[in-house]
């Protein structure tokens, strides 16, 4: 099958096929080898990328910037204080202006409707770099990391533990459905995923030989996991939810007991970062002072263990984002 993603938006994994997702990951693998060999490329030469970020970022911003530069492109960061998105200038007008100056637009913000509207009015491809509903560029890095560790994707048992209806969990569920994973969400019932999205993913998963399970049992729910994945308990913009989330999720921390409960020796642990695994940050110290917790969604022991692939996963953000840009606005295919 010939895969052509030229000029395509990337708003949610639901807009792509399993073959297209595998193609992006395979392209990312080639580009990673190219970078490791010290080769600079020109696949994005002459391409300009707008980084339209309502929400701050470390990995996503750096991944886009370095990925573009590696292949001869240029990026321009437009943070919350640099733009008038929806205030002095409508989303539609912003899209029409930027797409006349840039070849691609990455949007990271609060409302998924915003990235949809940008895509509707933009003449250039728009990539979702995180919204309240989905985080598809993160999922590409997750898939790549899983493939690197297991040399396969079909039949992987992926278990996500924590807030089962946030953007990372949603994207994992969609990606797992397309790729035929056995995917489980282990979460308290009040944080289970949207039923419409869950049913849609279950239908897709069944067609691809996978399963999707949702449970509130943390011990039984992680049995047999090849990949154990978690995310922060409190998402950006939910700072008033700390006490509530701690009460809801205190039994769902990924610690060494949970690792042992999987019954697997060769499992890996993933986290999209940043993580509350110690009190070495200002926020970590504040959480400890107010709630008495030195660790939240993952213990420091697990985070620093041989099971952890979080920094390989973070690096793969760059390689997969580079693949996305090359595939959609690049001047040619690689290999």
Q: Tens of pLDDT along 108-143?
A: 999 999 999 999 999 999 999 999 999 999 999 999
Q: Show the domain range for 243.
A: 157-225+227-263+268-306
Both 161 and 301 in a single domain?
yes
Across the chain, mean pLDDT equals 95
Both 168 and 286 in a single domain?
yes
- Classify residue 282 by burial, with Cβ atoms within 10 Å: 0-12, 13-18, 19+: exposed
Both 81 and 176 in a single domain?
no
Residue 90 in any domain: the answer is yes
* Percent of the chain at pLDDT exceeding 70: 98
**Residue 145 pLDDT grade (very low, low, confident, very high; cuts 50, 70, 90):** very high
Domain count of the fold of the chain: 2
Q: What is the pLDDT of residue 333?
A: 55
* Percent of the chain at pLDDT exceeding 90: 91
- Taking the model in full, what pTM does it have? 0.96
**Residue 1 pLDDT grade (very low, low, confident, very high; cuts 50, 70, 90):** low
Both 161 and 298 in a single domain?
yes
Residue 294 in any domain: the answer is yes
Both 288 and 176 in a single domain?
yes
Both 85 and 169 in a single domain?
no
**Residue 2 pLDDT grade (very low, low, confident, very high; cuts 50, 70, 90):** confident
State residue 48 phi and psi, 5-degree precision: -115, 135
Both 197 and 248 in a single domain?
yes
Three-state SS at 198: helix
Measured in residues, the chain has a length of 335
Question: For 153-162, what is each residue's pLDDT tens digit?
Answer: 989 999 999 9
Residue 3 in any domain: the answer is no
Task: Output b/e per residue, 94-116; b: 16+ Cβ within 10 A.
Answer: bbeebbeebbbbbbbbeebebbb
Concatenated DSSP letters for 238-302?
-GGGHHHHHHHHGGG-B-HHHHHHTT-SS-EEEE-S---SSS-SHHHHHHHHHH--S-SSB-HHH
Q: What is the pLDDT of residue 82?
A: 86
- Classify residue 129 by burial, with Cβ atoms within 10 Å: 0-12, 13-18, 19+: buried
Residue 99 in any domain: the answer is yes
Question: For 63-97, what is each residue's pLDDT tens digit?
Answer: 999 999 999 999 999 998 888 787 888 999 999 99
Q: What is the pLDDT of residue 86?
A: 75
Residue 180 in any domain: the answer is yes
Both 162 and 290 in a single domain?
yes
Both 30 and 86 in a single domain?
yes
Question: For 265-308, what is each residue's pLDDT tens digit?
Answer: 999 999 999 999 999 999 999 999 999 999 999 999 999 999 99
Instruction: Round to whole Å and give the CA distance between 185 and 182.
Output: 10
Across 194-208, average pLDDT: 97
Is pLDDT at 335 greater than 80 in this prediction? Answer: no
**Residue 332 pLDDT grade (very low, low, confident, very high; cuts 50, 70, 90):** low
Residue 142 in any domain: the answer is no
Concatenated DSSP letters for 40-83?
---TTTT-EEEEEESS--SHHHHHHHHHHHHTT-EEEEE-TTT-
Both 245 and 126 in a single domain?
no
Residue 121 in any domain: the answer is yes
Is pLDDT at 42 greater than 80 in this prediction? Answer: yes
Which residues form the catalytic set? 108, 135, 138, 231, 272, 317
CATH of the domain at 102: 3.40.50.1370
Question: For 164-179, what is each residue's pLDDT tens digit?
Answer: 999 999 999 999 999 9
Q: What is the pLDDT of residue 193?
A: 98
Both 232 and 93 in a single domain?
no
Residue 293 CA, chain-centre distance (Å), reads 26
Residue 1 in any domain: the answer is no
Q: What is the pLDDT of residue 250?
A: 95
Both 168 and 198 in a single domain?
yes
């Amino acid at each position: 099958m010939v895969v052509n993603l030229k000029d395509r938006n990337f708003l949610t994994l639901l807009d792509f096929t399993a073959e297209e997702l595998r193609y992006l990951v395979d392209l990312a693998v080639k580009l990673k080898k190219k970078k490791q060999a010290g080769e600079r490329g020109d696949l994005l030469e002459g391409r300009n990328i707008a980084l339209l970020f309502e929400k701050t970022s470390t990995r996503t911003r750096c991944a886009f910037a370095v990925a573009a530069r590696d292949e001869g492109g240029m990026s321009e960061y437009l943070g919350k204080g640099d733009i008038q998105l929806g205030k002095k200038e409508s989303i539609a007008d912003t899209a029409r202006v930027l797409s006349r100056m840039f070849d691609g637009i990455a949007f990271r913000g609060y409302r998924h409707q915003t990235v949809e509207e940008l895509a509707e009015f933009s003449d250039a491809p728009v990539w979702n770099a995180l919204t309240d509903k989905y985080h598809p560029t993160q999922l590409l890095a997750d898939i790549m990391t899983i493939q690197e560790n297991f040399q396969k994707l079909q039949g992987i048992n992926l278990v996500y533990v924590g807030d089962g209806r946030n953007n990372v969990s949603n994207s994992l569920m969609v990606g797992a459905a397309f790729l035929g994973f056995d995917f489980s969400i282990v979460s308290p019932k009040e944080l289970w995923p949207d039923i419409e999205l869950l049913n849609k993913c279950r239908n897709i998963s069944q067609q691809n030989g996978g399963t999707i399970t949702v449970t509130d049992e943390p011990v039984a729910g992680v049995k047999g996991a090849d990949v154990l994945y978690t995310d922060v308990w409190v998402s950006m913009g939910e700072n008033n939810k700390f006490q509530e989330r701690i009460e809801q999720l205190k039994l769902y921390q990924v610690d060494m007991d949970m690792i042992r409960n999987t019954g697997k020796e060769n499992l890996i642990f993933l986290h999209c970062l940043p993580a509350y695994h110690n009190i070495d940050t200002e926020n970590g110290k504040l959480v400890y002072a107010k709630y008495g917790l030195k660790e939240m969604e993952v213990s420091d022991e697990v985070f620093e263990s041989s099971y952890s692939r979080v920094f390989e996963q973070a690096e793969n953000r760059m390689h997969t984002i580079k693949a996305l840009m090359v595939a959609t606005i690049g001047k040619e295919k690689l290999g």
